[in-house]
Amino acid sequence: MSTAKNIVLGVTGSIAAYKAADLTSQLAKQGCEVRVVLTADALRFITAVPFQTLSRHPVVTDLYDEVDEWQPTHIKLADEADLLLIAPATANTIAKLAHGIANDALSCIALALNPRARILVAPAMNGKMWLHPATQQNVATLRSRGVGFIGPEEGLLSCGYEGLGRLWPVDKVAERAMELLRERRPAKRRG
């Protein structure tokens, strides 16, 4: 039986999506089993090939991607995950998570995630989108449910603006992910 930690890495439609390939590599080098899920918008920025090569696992790009088993892929990944890491996370994905919208593989995994799994979100978007009251309310909602956030950081954004919205440095995201995997998840109270 493997003692490797299982990470589902969700990559969403941000220009920073290419940085998630390095994140995959760093996590795999630390002994994690990394299963990558690319949203349709992420595929506009990067292909599945580098993720499949670096993780040594098939990449999920559609809710209906199936493996050779009876269980739907999104449920299998949700059941096995020790950590759901979404990097980069767009405002759209954060809103879906906050409101329980499950209309693609990544959002279905998030909604079906086993209760012992941790969630870490690394936002990347235009600064005005990050600071918008709707996004901030969605972040507050997720934090109240125990979701962790890392970033965003300030700097030159791909839109040409300077401000808050850049993906946190990949090595720091990997470091935080490993810290969460080492921490014990407190037991949830019932009723």
Domain that holds residue 92: 6-182
- The reply to whether 1 falls in a domain is no
- The reply to whether 187 falls in a domain is no
pLDDT, one tens digit per residue, over 73-108 is: 889 999 999 999 999 999 999 999 999 999 999 999
Question: pTM score, two decimals?
Answer: 0.92
Give the residue numbers annotated as catalytic, written as ranges.
Answer: 159
- The reply to whether 169 falls in a domain is yes
Please list, in sequence order, all residues whose beta carbon lies within 8 angstroms of the beta carbon of residue 163, skipping any fewer than 6 positions away: 127, 128, 154, 155, 157
CATH number where 140 lies: 3.40.50.1950
Which amino acid makes up residue 22?
Answer: D
Whether pLDDT at 133 is above 80: yes
Count: domains in the chain: 1
- The reply to whether 189 falls in a domain is no
- The reply to whether 67 falls in a domain is yes
What integer pLDDT is reported at residue 71 of this predicted model? Answer: 75
- Indicate the helix (H) or strand (E) that contains 175: helix 170-182
- The reply to whether 74 falls in a domain is yes
